Every structure is written in structure tokens, then in C-alpha cells.
Amino acid sequence: MGVPGYRYREAETLDSGVRRNDGLERRLSGIRKRMTYDDATELRRLRWRSRRGMRELDRLFERWLDRCWATSTEAEREVFRRLLDCEDDRLWKWFLGHERSDDAQLDTLVQSIRQLSPG
């Protein structure tokens, strides 16, 4: 049970009897209801493609996949796929804000990913 490709940790029960990862479980249960089998398969493939040579880029892409993929439109997903086709050095400059993409859709996505909080 669960989202394919997502590693679950054992839930820790605190002294008060509250599970530490209850919030995560509630969020994931909502995602599970919205995602079809094909979505889950595509998400696994994208997680693999998102693995880059730079941990920082990995984290940025994972953050978007974790928080935005399930609710994104097909057009937004296509822009993300195009973003993954870009070279790492160019991506890094975009995410640092040293340069901006000439493609308005890619630039919009990069800026939205930059705005996602790390936690």
C-alpha cells in the first residue's frame, strides 16, 4: 500500500500516543486518491530522471514532484519534462538566479520551484 516509488519510514509513536508522521500520511492519502496507476508509473520515471549529478538539483526537483505533481495540469507536467531535458549547468544558473531561461514557461516553472520552501 502507498505511493509506488516512495519510501516510507516506520511511524514513531510518541508518549502521547500520536504518530509522528500523521500529517505526512494524511497528505499522501489525498495524493493516492488523485493519482491513477499511470500517474504513479510516470512519477517513478520522473523521479529517476530527476536524479542529477548535483544533490541540490535533485532536492529541487524532488520537492516539486512531492508537492506539485499530483495536482498539476498536463501542460505543467510537460513543462517539467522539458525542464529535465536541460543541461545541469544551465539549470543551476537558472535556480541560482544568475540567468533566466529564454522560454517563458520554463522560467515560470523555475521561479515557482525556487519559491517552494525546503521543509
pTM: 0.67
Read off the pLDDT of each residue in 51-77 and give the average, rounded to a whole number.
Answer: 93
d(CA 65, CA 61): 6
| Cα angle 50, 56, 58; round to 5 | 15
Q: Quote the cell numbers at residue 105.
A: 514557461
Closest-CA residue to 93 (of 103, 101, 84)? 101
User: Is pLDDT above 90 for 6?
Assistant: no
The confidence score (pLDDT) of residue 38 equals: 79
Read off the pLDDT of each residue in 25-41 and give the average, rounded to a whole number.
Answer: 60
The confidence score (pLDDT) of residue 53 equals: 83
Do residues 79 and 106 lie in contact, with contact meaning Cβ atoms separated by under 8 Å? Answer: yes
**Low-confidence winner among 21-30, 32-41, 68-77 (lowest mean pLDDT):** 21-30
The confidence score (pLDDT) of residue 65 equals: 95
The confidence score (pLDDT) of residue 7 equals: 53
Q: Quote the cell numbers at residue 3.
A: 505511493
